[in-house]
Amino acid sequence: MRPVHVGLVSGLALWWFFACSAEPASDGGSSRATGDGGYSAGEATGGVPATGGVAVTGGVPATGGVAATGGVPATGAAGGLSGVSGSAATGGEGALILDAGDDASRGGTHVVDAGELPDVVFEYDAGAWGEPDACASTTVTAPPIYLDLVIVVDRSSSMNEPGWESYEYAAADCNVDEEPIKASKWCRAINALMDFFEDPSSVGMGVGFRTYSGSPEEVPADCGTYASLDVPETVNPGDPSLGIIQGGADDPLLVALEAEMNYQWAEGMTPTEQALSTIIHFTAARQGENDANGADNRRVIGILVTDGKPTQCEREISLLNQLVVDHYGATGIPTYFIGMAGAEYPGLETMAVGAGSEAHYDYCNDAVPTPCYHYDVGEGDGRVLVDALEAIRTSVIGCQFAMPTAEQGLVNLDSIEVRFTPNETADPELLARILGGEAACGSNEGYYTDDDDDPTTILLCPATCTRAAADPTSSVSIELLCEGS
């Protein structure tokens, strides 16, 4: 069986396999077709039709696709396969007709040009052409998992360092892609963020961007949520929805993000409570929007980027931690903490524990035991912040795969087989399905689904996910057997 490659999921290759079967003929594989243009009259024995028909061996179409002329299927032929004005010569152009029977706008057929088909063989058990195939009209799709990100970035005066004193605002101000990048945490941060947003792997990602800083006059007395995000507010004023990255130089969301970052500069104090309240509010709003729209293939997270400890509003670390812990418990939305040089890392770690981040060994500050829950990117030199953002994205969606949906026909969920290949030279390993969710995985290899009875997502168990993340050539293949197999 040959795989259908549907793309990369955060560096982990995913392949879907489709295996279908037909009901066997009572005469051991023979059927009679009365021709009317598409199939000439004749009797096929062992799956090979008479002259003018479709050459089949074991149920797989002969080289060149469906070699029929006239486009009218034979009486009693399978509804999912017929000829459409194709050349009968071997290697010639033909067409494959899917979903035959119900599409009135196409006269009961859906035509796919043979030249446009992926390099895939649909394997059928040997059966009768005259009897319906249980899967011949099944269309299976595998929607990708997308991230919805609300990121709030510290722009207090200390973000001007290390190249400038915190009060040298004008000297430390910068724009995205300005060369050379000024030696300040603020300049490195905004350039890294734009690199992350502009990466092709970010297409389809939802983004909400906000900076935070303040003075006693600017911060509300109750230190509550910012009324709006900086972006996408500038794209669609008054619209609480996140923007979706489309990619390309003319993407209005990317243009707005860069313009906002160029407009801002670092000054003021650090009202961390207000930043966290803003993350909580807008991530919960996005989750509600996704639920209302049935967007099961989107995952919402919040990220705080800071270089200091709280200097305004609530300063008690344990109480700030409780805000995000309660948010995660109520919504399942995680909040991630990225620290830059100057951050009070033990306090940052305390805020991150229980907020939904997975424990990891990379990006842990030396002042904190490993594994840790925060991410330390130091001064933000080079790609370290981009890599940390990629690591967070991979931890959220890198080991998740959307359950394919069947437009017609039935997918037998009990027949899903998941195989994991740890690297390009290794043999595939058949993974066991674990019932009971992630907690039931323990330290065992395998996979589970978000719901045992009505799943929408396939997830690798933590032990398998860790192995998958260790090698960029690792891959996962998922075989779906249809009803009748």
pLDDT tens across the length of the chain (485 residues): 333 333 334 445 555 554 444 444 444 443 333 334 333 333 433 443 433 443 333 444 434 444 333 444 443 433 333 333 333 333 443 333 333 344 333 344 333 343 443 333 323 233 333 333 444 333 444 567 899 999 999 999 999 888 777 777 777 789 999 888 888 999 999 999 999 999 998 999 999 999 998 876 666 667 888 888 999 875 555 555 789 999 988 999 999 999 999 999 888 889 999 999 999 999 999 999 999 998 888 999 999 999 988 888 889 999 999 999 999 999 999 999 999 999 999 999 999 999 999 899 999 999 999 999 999 999 998 899 999 999 999 888 888 888 766 554 445 567 677 888 888 899 999 999 999 999 999 999 999 999 888 888 889 998 998 888 777 778 888 776 655 44
Per-residue 3-state assignment (H helix, E strand, C coil) for 372-407: ECCEECCCCCCCHHHHHHHHHHHHHHCCEEECCEEC
Q: Using CA atoms, how far apart are residues 431 and 143, in angstroms rounded to an integer?
A: 22
> How is the chain split among helix, strand and coil, in percent rounded to 5?
25, 25, 55
Could you tell me the CA-to-CA distances from 241 to 236, 282, 476 in Å, in that order? 9, 9, 33
Number of residues assigned to the chain: 485
Please list, in sequence order, all residues whose beta carbon lies within 8 angstroms of the beta carbon of residue 345, skipping any fewer than 6 positions away: 339, 365, 367, 368, 374, 376
Residue with tokens 């494959």: 96
Domain 146-397 has CATH 3.90.870.40: no
Side chain identity at residue 124, one-letter code: Y
Per-residue pLDDT, 176: 93
Please list, in sequence order, all residues whose beta carbon lies within 8 angstroms of the beta carbon of residue 8, skipping any fewer than 6 positions away: 14, 201
Per-residue pLDDT, 381: 84
Per-residue pLDDT, 318: 95
End-to-end CA distance of the chain: 15
Per-residue pLDDT, 407: 52
Enter the pTM of the model. 0.67
Domain ranges of the chain: 22-137, 146-397, 405-481
